[in-house]
Structure formats: C-alpha cells, structure tokens
C-alpha cells in the first residue's frame, strides 16, 4: 500500500511550548504534514490564531467556558469546534489523523493517549506523565493495538535514535543527562530560600512553567527515568542520571560490550519533534548546526540527592511499581501548582509528595479505573499538606 504523501497530525496541547514548536516544524514542511486537529485547555486566543493560520478540520477547547468565544471566532473558517475533556479524547479517532502528538502537560494526557492507542494511531509522546502514571497499561495496550510510540522528550528521543539498528543488542545501561537547572551550584542552605522567579529562570531550555519547575527540582528527570523504564524495557538499576550543564549530549546508551552511543545537538526541541513526526526518515531542516569549537569543554557531574530529593523519590517509586508513580505524579502536580501560586516553598515540594505517598495504600496491579481513582485521591490528600 502506497504511503500517504502528507501525514495528518493531531496536536493535543497545541498552545504549549511543544505544541507551538511542532506547528513551526509542520509549517516548514507543508508537503509532508498537515494539521487535522488542535486542542488546548484554556489559551483560547492562541488557539483561534492557530486555527485561522493552519485551517485544521477540528479544534477542541478543554475548558468549556471558552466554547462560545472559540465557535464565534471561527464561524467563517469552516473549522469544526468542540469543547470538553471527552472531546479532547475523542478527536484522536478522526480518520484523517495519522499521528497524535500528545503535548499536554501532566496527568491530563493519559486518557487521550489511551484512546489514540486504541484508535491505532502513531503516538508522538511528549507527555511523560502518561507512562509514569500507567506505563504497564500503556505498553500492554500499544502491543495489543499495534500502535507505535515514538518519544519526543529530547532525552528519550536521543536513546531511541541511539538504538536504531541496535534492537538485537541488549542495553547494559542508559544515562539520562540533566542540565542541573538553575540551582545546580546552590548549597542545601541556599535552596531553603528559593524564590519563584529564580525557579522559572532555566539556564538552557525554554519550557512551560510546570515543566520548568519540575526541571529545577529534578522531578522532571525522575519522571523521565520512569518513562525510560517503560519505553525501553529497563530495570531501575539500568538507569542513571548525570548532570551535563551544556545540554549538548542529550543522552547515552551503553551496550553489553562497553561501547557507548550518545546523541548530540544544540538544545532545540524542534529536532526531536521533527524526528518523531518523520520517523523512520530524517528530513532536511534549517535548524542551527552544532559547532564543536563553540563548546571546547563538555562537563559531567553527579546529582546531589540531598539537594534534589525528588529524583531519589522517583527511583524509590520506580522500584515499587503499582500505583506509587501515579500517587507521586498527582502530589507533585498539586505541590508545583502551590509553589507557582506562592502558597508553598520550593523545598516543600518533595515533602508534600512523601507525605502523600505515606497516606495512600499501595496497589500492585492497578487498572485504568484504579489510576483515575488514585490520581484523584492523591490530589485531595496533597492539598491537605499545603
């Protein structure tokens, strides 16, 4: 069967950092990609501008209070308009959609991703929480429905690229690299007094507020470690995290013979986004090229788990399995929201997570309904610690 000339793309979370960069990639390659559906939660103004520019078949606004504004603004644009969380999940079933880019932040990406898998779409996965919360379930469903999952996170994309042509060779270990964020050189004492504006000032990546705080607390790297376990069928002891301030080496795979492969490049999310959309082909880009002479020194350091307690919690949760990661993720989302609203301190984030984990019963083999239940319960309990 001849492959379609253009791949139809649905972007879940088109107004966020990943979504907007994905649209830049699509705009640069109009002969290869077309936008079929766009979704957003609240940023209706940007969603309207995107819809007018890219002319998708459908748009969905998660927050239903914005529906009338969106519908009226697009009344002359022949774009179908829907609203609500259920509509976000349903839009992935569209027959013209070949690839679903899940760029939503947090737990909200889980149910739409499950529905996309059941619809046998290729998943370009930028929502790490989907695998963190329900990795066992997602892996089982993707095998059952033969739905391909291509990682978009720069670290997982790097590992995925390093494994091309190596699938028959067992992995000994992977190294996820972390910039170290804005507090890499802070003492433990200094970290007790971190202000919001400091945590939002990431040294190398431009990301949304929630992911930026997760990066500063190293929770982002903890979530990525759990995601890597499920993506690449690894044990916790096969995963290591190292600080690499320049963010040039995106991650490393070590094989049984001791050989190591690293994927390198400038810190630009458009490259892994484009790779996920075009896989297995690489297509020409105008992205800025890396020059070794601009980076005469590449440094690597060990993570201080006393300063970055979230990373240690993530590995503990990974070893536990079951519903533990679901609880951790929900508590973290509540704690980060509290910090962003200046209702909790930066170093309170791991405290809230640990207290929530202690309060909720462990379940070894949850199903989808269990994940929904424990996510809700963990959020309720986490709020009592703020």
Domain annotation covers residue 168: yes
**Could you say which of 121, 151, 181 is where a domain stops?**
151
**What CATH number should be reported for the domain holding residue 49?**
3.40.50.720
* Shared-domain flag, residues 85 and 234: no
Q: How far apart are CA 299 and CA 210, in angstroms?
A: 27
* Shared-domain flag, residues 229 and 81: no
Domain annotation covers residue 239: yes
* Shared-domain flag, residues 36 and 173: no
Domain annotation covers residue 339: no
Domain annotation covers residue 376: no
- Domain range for 177 is 157-320
* Shared-domain flag, residues 176 and 310: yes
**Could you say which of 274, 294, 320 is where a domain stops?**
320
Mode of pairing for the β-strands spanning 7-12 and 80-83: unpaired
* Shared-domain flag, residues 240 and 261: yes
Q: Could you give the angle at which helices 209-217 and 219-232 cross, rounded to 10 degrees?
A: 90
Domain annotation covers residue 383: no
* Shared-domain flag, residues 118 and 267: no
Domain annotation covers residue 179: yes
* Shared-domain flag, residues 83 and 226: no
Domain annotation covers residue 125: yes
What pLDDT score does 206 carry? 66
Report the half-sphere exposure of 227 (CA within 13 A, side-chain side). Answer: 26
* Shared-domain flag, residues 166 and 138: no
- Which residue, among 145, 103, 124, 114, has the nearest Cα to 7 in the 3D structure? 124
Residuewise pLDDT in 10s, the chain (386 residues): 456 689 999 999 999 999 999 999 999 999 999 999 999 999 999 999 999 999 999 999 999 999 999 999 999 999 999 999 999 999 999 999 999 999 998 888 999 999 999 999 999 999 988 999 999 999 999 999 999 999 999 999 999 999 999 989 999 999 999 999 999 999 999 999 999 999 998 776 667 788 899 999 999 999 999 999 999 999 999 999 999 999 999 999 999 999 999 999 999 999 999 999 999 999 999 999 999 999 999 999 999 999 999 999 999 999 999 999 999 999 999 999 999 999 999 999 999 999 999 999 999 999 999 999 999 999 999 999 99
Does the pTM exceed 0.85?
yes
- Which residue, among 128, 108, 106, has the nearest Cα to 176 in the 3D structure? 128
* Shared-domain flag, residues 315 and 198: yes
* Shared-domain flag, residues 97 and 204: no
Q: How far apart are CA 60 and CA 38, in angstroms?
A: 6
Q: How many domains is the chain partitioned into structurally? A: 2
* Shared-domain flag, residues 164 and 223: yes
Q: Report the alpha-carbon angle 110-111-112, nearest 5.
A: 95
**Could you say which of 98, 116, 151 is where a domain stops?**
151
What pLDDT score does 205 carry? 65
Distances (CA, A) of 15 to 40, 98, 264, 272: 6, 20, 27, 18
* Shared-domain flag, residues 95 and 214: no
Domain annotation covers residue 379: no
């Amino acid at each position: 069967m001849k492959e379609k000339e253009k791949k139809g793309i649905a972007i879940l979370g088109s107004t966020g950092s990943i979504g907007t960069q994905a649209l830049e990639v699509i705009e640069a390659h109009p002969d290869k990609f077309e936008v079929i559906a766009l979704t957003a939660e609240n940023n209706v103004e940007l969603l309207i501008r995107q819809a007018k520019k890219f002319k998708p078949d459908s748009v969905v606004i998660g927050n239903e209070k914005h529906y009338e504004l969106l519908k009226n603004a697009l009344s002359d644009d022949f774009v179908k308009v829907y609203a609500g969380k259920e509509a976000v999940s349903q839009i992935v079933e569209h027959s013209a959609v070949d690839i679903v880019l899940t760029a939503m932040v947090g737990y909200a990406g889980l149910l739409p991703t499950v529905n996309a898998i059941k619809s046998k779409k290729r998943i370009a996965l930028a929502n790490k929480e989907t695998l963190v919360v329900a990795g066992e379930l997602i892996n089982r469903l993707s095998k059952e429905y033969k739905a391909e999952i291509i990682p978009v996170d720069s670290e997982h994309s790097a590992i995925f690229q390093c494994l091309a042509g190596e699938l028959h060779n067992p992995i000994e270990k992977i190294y996820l690299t972390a910039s170290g964020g804005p507090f890499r050189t802070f003492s433990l004492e200094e970290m007790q007094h971190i202000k919001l504006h400091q945590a939002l000032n990431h040294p190398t990546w431009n990301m949304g507020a929630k992911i930026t705080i997760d990066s500063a607390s190293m929770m982002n790297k903890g979530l990525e470690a759990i995601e890597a376990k499920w993506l690449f069928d690894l044990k916790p002891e096969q995963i290591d995290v190292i600080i690499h301030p320049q963010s040039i080496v995106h991650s490393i795979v070590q094989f049984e013979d001791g050989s190591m492969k690293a994927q390198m490049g400038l810190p630009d999310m458009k490259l892994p986004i484009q790779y996920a959309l075009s896989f297995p082909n690489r297509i020409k880009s105008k992205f800025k090229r890396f020059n070794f002479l601009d980076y005469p020194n590449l440094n690597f350091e060990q993570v201080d788990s006393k300063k970055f307690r979230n990373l240690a919690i993530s590995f503990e949760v990974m070893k536990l399995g079951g519903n533990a990661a679901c609880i951790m993720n929900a508590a973290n989302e509540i704690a980060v929201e509290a910090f962003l609203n200046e209702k909790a301190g930066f170093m309170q984030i791991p405290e809230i997570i640990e207290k929530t984990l202690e309060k909720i019963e462990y379940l070894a083999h949850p199903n989808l309904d269990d994940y929904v239940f424990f996510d809700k319960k963990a959020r309720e309990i986490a709020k009592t610690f703020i």
